[in-house]
Amino acid sequence: MKQVYTHPNLAMVQQMANILELRQVPSEVRNQFAAGATGELSFIDSWPQLFVDEIDFQRATRFVDQELKQTGEDWNCDHCGEQNGFAFGACWQCGNIHPEDKL
């Protein structure tokens, strides 16, 4: 198995595992409980890690890279005119749903 992703926050590693699962790439999260070993292990070695089989490594790396580089365009709310970041699915000001999500 090869490591495809690591992060100090377990939730981020688990999110990447979920993304790979949706794309039918089997993965394994390791070091979920290793934070208590920091000091005996280097802090980076105690971070949660995501591993995949060698045969899936290139695909998994591509999917992880795509997710990390995901960008979009900011949008203006149809209801109140507030500008919202691309990651918002609803207006932070009034709660109106993003126009593309109304379909």
**pLDDT, tens digit, for every residue of 40-84?**
666 667 789 999 999 999 999 999 988 887 767 888 999 999 998
51 shares its domain with 9: yes
Task: Give yes or no for residue 89 having a pLDDT over 60.
Answer: yes
Q: How far apart are CA 58 and CA 25, in angstroms?
A: 11
In this prediction, residue 100 carries a pLDDT of: 72
51 shares its domain with 7: yes
Say if pTM beats, i.e. exceeds, 0.85.
no
Number of domains in the chain: 2
| Contact status, residue 79 vs residue 99, Cβ threshold 8 Å | no
In this prediction, residue 64 carries a pLDDT of: 92
Q: What are phi and psi of 64, to 5 degrees?
A: -65, -45
The 10s digit of each residue's pLDDT in 25-36 is 999 999 887 666
50 shares its domain with 26: yes
How many other CB atoms are there within 10 angstroms of residue 49's CB atom?
A: 19
Q: How far apart are CA 76 and CA 44, in angstroms?
A: 40
Residue with tokens 């609803």: 90
Integer-rounded Cα Rg, in Å, for the chain is 18
Structure tokens at 59: 């695909």
Domain with 84 in it: 72-103
